[in-house]
Chains A and B, each alone.
Chain A
């Protein structure tokens, strides 16, 4: 896929995700940001980290993964990009996002599974 096609896709994905974000947090919003993250990743692969377009894509991939609620993936992406030779400003920003991902991963609420009990039968109704 050409960079022009990737830019068209990321434009549509960002507009959609930010529109979903305005409606409030939801599963659809997280999916939309995951799409943004994946396309930004593809753009990052096609653009050098030393240039502004590559920097936008690398920041965007990590940031959107965080917004999608995937701190493990965000952390992995940040580590991967930090292993490249980077301008210092970009490295600083990626380090900050990596810290955000690590803070989310350290949150016990994220590791716990929320179980919502739902009764299938209502005995009181049956007894009535």
Chain B
């Protein structure tokens, strides 16, 4: 999987435990993409920055997850998108605009994950001055 974090580009190997495909035909493809994107995004931000998940945010907080950066003692509001349609940078712009409205944390970031050509892009907004 190609991983982009700001200007840094790396290739990462993603592995997971295989699960039974029993009942797979009743799963919602849209939901699977979203859930998988969140799993990948939370792994990417931990590997790239050491951020750990604190809690889920309600939809109206304009971010999906509240994370903690123990090195900087800072909170991060992270918006995640999983998609295989359209342009990644356009989707990133939409997600950054969304998370820019989040008041849950001073550090705000978005991660866009794609699966057909596996990639994950992470971008941070400039910090809000206190």
Residues of A within 8 A of B (CB): 7-8, 10-11, 14-15, 18, 36, 52-53, 55-56, 59-60, 63-64, 89
Contact B103 A14 (CB under 8 A): no
- B60 x A56 contact (CB < 8 A): no
* Chain B residues within 8 Å of A59, by CB: 58, 60-61
Chain B hits for A56, CB < 8 A: 57, 61, 66, 104
Sample of 23 A–B contacts (CB below 8 Å): A7-B54, A10-B55, A11-B55, A11-B56, A14-B58, A15-B56, A36-B58, A52-B103, A52-B104, A52-B106, A53-B54, A55-B103, A55-B104, A56-B57, A56-B61, A56-B66, A59-B58, A59-B60, A60-B58, A60-B61, A63-B60, A64-B58, A89-B103
B58 and A53 contact, CB distance less than 8 A: no
Which B residues between 52 and 70 are near A, CB-CB below 8 angstroms? 54-61, 66
How many B residues touch A, CB cutoff 8 Å?
14
Q: How far does the Cβ of A101 sit from chain B's closest Cβ, in whole Å?
A: 15
Q: Is B44 an interface residue (CB 8 A)?
A: no
Report B-chain residues with C-beta under 8 Å of the C-beta of A7.
Answer: 54-55
Determine whether B75 belongs to the interface, using a CB cutoff of 8 Å to chain A. Answer: yes
Separation of A59 and B102 alpha carbons in the complex (Å): 13
Chain A nearest Cβ from B65, distance in angstroms: 9
Write the nearest CB–CB distance from B49 to chain A, whole angstroms.
Answer: 18
Per a CB cutoff under 8 Å, which of A10, A53, A89 touches B75?
A53
Q: CA A11 – CA B54 in complex, angstroms?
A: 9
Asked whether any CB of chain A lies closer than 8 Å to the CB of B124, the reply is no
Chain A: CB-nearest residue to B68:
A53
Chain A residues, Cβ within 8 Å of B104: 52, 55-56
Complex interface residues of chain B between 1 and 52 (CB less than 8 A to chain A) = none
Q: Is the CB of A18 within 8 A of B59?
A: yes
Name the contact of A63 in the complex, choosing from B55, B58, B106 (C-beta under 8 A): B58
8 new A-B contacts at CB < 8 Å, known A53-B54, A55-B103: A10-B56, A14-B57, A18-B58, A52-B75, A55-B104, A56-B66, A60-B58, A64-B58
